[in-house]
Amino acid sequence: MISGLILLSGALILPAAVGQTDMPDPRNSVQALALDSARTVYMGTFGNGIYRSRDVGLHWEAISDGLGDPYIMTLLVKPSGGKAPGGSKGMILAGTARLGIFRSRDEGLHWEKVNAGLMNTQVSALVFDSQDMLYAATGQGVFRSADYGDHWTAHNTGLDDVLVRSLIVNREGTLFAGTGGKGLYRRKAGQPGWERLTRGFEGERGLRENFIRVLTLGSDGTIYAGTFDGGVYTTRDGGKTWNDLNQGLINQSIRAIVVGKDGVLYLGTGRGIFIRSPKDNRWISISGTLDDLNIQSMVIDGEGRIYAGTAQHLYKGSAKDDWTLLTKRLFGDKKGA
């Protein structure tokens, strides 16, 4: 493990300053969250590997046996009962900052590296399509695997060697790739290559928004795109036209977007969590009791519990603004002491 790495604003890896004892431990930053069942939570940190809780966050166990890189950028859970290889019981895939992709076939107890054919090992997003084709967003484009990660091939025609930060696939098999510097790309199923989508991504000062950090797909096919510091945009026509949802949003550094069952939109930002009802265009902060507002990741379970990973800890709460710190025993107090 390389000491002194920090994930800055969800994108850059920089050395920590020597002698800074009053700063929280950067290895505790919760960069990735995933849910398996209603009560199982997986937490990926940026330096301390992966943890699992089977009781909605009350107790945690480290599950990093064989995990060669503890700097976790994304987690993807494939529930039991699928056609995964080897009769997997709860397959989990972890994308890391330095050593590519690791796979577990036993709910995280053991890990194996699955990088054959992967030409870049900085992996920031993983997604399955409806046919179980697996796609990985990397520091040099998109790669795909038809065998759950055993072998990878480049899927980059028209995309160039660009950092892909976010990735989603809709019901029709169309892929959308958010990049770190060249905006958003789309590749329809059967299409020979990627096309760049730029219409509608204008910042408040007329600047083109080219860093798409987060992509989320709603149940009705609506796409939400969160930018580095230009807020959130949405499209209902597959990317032909876009509208921003930034009016009244006090922080436009978007780190996580989740759509609740009731259609409520949840945003994790650099200044906490905001929600917006489909019947109301106002953003409402639900961060009043949250100790750390530097959100890095977020998921919502089937009972409406929100898990929010920050630069220091993991919290559990709801739209009622009732946050509970889940990782004090793991990471110490808020200052990492």
Q: What is the mean predicted confidence (pLDDT) over 64-76?
A: 97
Amino acid at 96: T
The pLDDT assigned to 333 comes to: 66
- For residues 257 and 90, the model is more confident at 257
Cβ contacts of residue 226 below 8 Å, gap of 6+?
212, 213, 214, 215, 216, 232, 254, 255, 256, 257, 267
Q: Can you give the pLDDT at residue 39?
A: 83
The pLDDT value given to residue 302: 87
Instruction: Say which DSSP state 282 is in.
Output: -
185-230 pLDDT tens trace? 999 998 999 999 876 676 655 556 889 999 999 999 999 999 999 9
Mean of pLDDT values over 228-251: 91
Nearest to 216 by CA among 160, 273, 254: 254
| Confidence band of 15 (pLDDT split at 50, 70, 90) | very low
For the whole prediction, is pTM greater than 0.75? yes
pLDDT at position 109 over 60 = yes
Kindly report the backbone phi and psi dihedral angles of residue 13, in degrees, each rounded to the nearest multiple of 5, phi listed first.
-110, 120
Q: Which of 195-204, 289-298, 317-326 has the lowest mean pLDDT?
A: 195-204
**Rounded percentage of the chain residues whose pLDDT exceeds 90:** 71
Higher pLDDT, 209 or 322: 322
Residue 327 has pLDDT above 60, yes or no: yes
pLDDT tens digits, one per residue of 39-64: 899 999 999 999 999 999 999 999 99
Q: What is the reported pLDDT for 5? A: 45
Q: How would residue 174 be classed by pLDDT, with cut points 50, 70 and 90? A: very high
* pLDDT recorded at residue 80: 62
Element (H, E) at 291: none
Q: In 3D, which of 159, 191, 154, 158 has the Cα closest to residue 172?
A: 191
As a three-state string, the secondary structure of 151-192 is: CCEECCCCCCCCCEEEEEECCCCCEEEEEECCCEEEECCCCC
Give the pLDDT confidence score for residue 248 in this predicted structure.
94
Report DSSP state, residue 23. Answer: S
What sections of the chain are H helices per DSSP?
Answer: 328-331
- Tokens representing 164 are 């892909």
Cα separation, 136 vs 118, in Å, equals: 9
Q: Do residues 211 and 244 make contact, with C-beta atoms less than 8 angstroms apart? A: no
Domains in the chain, start-ordered, CATH in brackets? 28-112 (2.40.10)
pLDDT score of 9 more than 80: no
In order, the DSSP letters of 140-162 are TEEEEESSTTSS-EE--TTT-S-
User: Taking 70 as the threshold, does the pLDDT of residue 94 lie above it?
Assistant: yes
